[in-house]
Amino acid sequence: MSSRPVTDMQRWFLFEYTDDLLQKLYQLGEAPEPQLLFTGTDLDPYADQSPMLICADSNPSIAAAVNDAPEDWQGLLIDSRHPQEQLLKHLQHILFIGFDGQRKGVLRYSNPRTASYFFPACTAGDLPQWLGPIQTLAWYGATWRISASERAQWCRVENPEAIHWQPAMAPLFLHLSDEQSQALRCQQTERFLFQWWEQQSALSFPQAWVFLEEGMASDFLSAESLSTYLDLRSAYPKARPPAALPQGSDEHRLNYLKASMERSSTDKEWQA
């Protein structure tokens, strides 16, 4: 196939896998012909749970369904002038990334939640290598922090270099920048806090974030100890925590914190 880009812009959907995705596609699509992202890659054994690439232009019923209820269709919207084969190979290529020196992993960029962290962390200089033949990338989603106070919305990034993109004979293995790595770590931290915060009734997310930062600054780093710390701070929101905690195990330090918070709360009630 020629490496020259096609003339007309084409629109694609890269849908995240769900148990009922194929059924929904064939109920709506004229001829969806899904291409499995994992096929032919190191993730081929998991191809039955692969994101699926669908031509939106050939399936107007699917396009209309996404437009009407984007929250029901998890994935990415892609505009490209390049052939499907080249687009698919590029999407497969950016699945596999290096990070933290010699570590390797899989980047789940087709998940709108991950996309909301990862792509905004790309600089103008490195965005073209990630988007490659993609001229416009869009998704309906939000970060965990935004989800605490606002609804998801359409997000979009543009790649002006796409028109000049040419497939490389041997594409370079991509490594996360410090900013991208930090964004993905932030995603995990905000997810943890959001799931804890959802169980609360009278605590704002910004205040919960303050408590979380306090807990991490006090070296409570495991999910269990941080959850306990947040529970204590939430139970005594007006109490002043001690300036420093003693040495010892997380359990010992949390027990000290609880006793201190109880005393502080009792003193405030007595003074009132």
Q: What is the DSSP letter of 12?
A: E
Tell me the three state secondary structure of residue 55.
Answer: strand
**What would the two tokens of residue 260 be?**
């201190």
Domain spans of the chain, in order of start: 10-176, 200-271
In angstroms, the CA 70 to CA 72 distance is: 5
**What would the two tokens of residue 71 be?**
């929250």
Q: Are strands 96-99 and 174-175 parallel, antiparallel or unpaired?
A: parallel
pLDDT of residue 202: 84
Does this model's pTM top 0.85? My answer is: yes
Chunked mean pLDDT (size 10), the chain, 272 residues? 63 97 90 94 96 96 96 97 96 93 91 98 95 98 95 96 90 92 97 95 92 94 95 88 90 94 69 46
In angstroms, the CA 142 to CA 145 distance is: 8
Q: Are strands 52-55 and 35-36 parallel, antiparallel or unpaired?
A: antiparallel
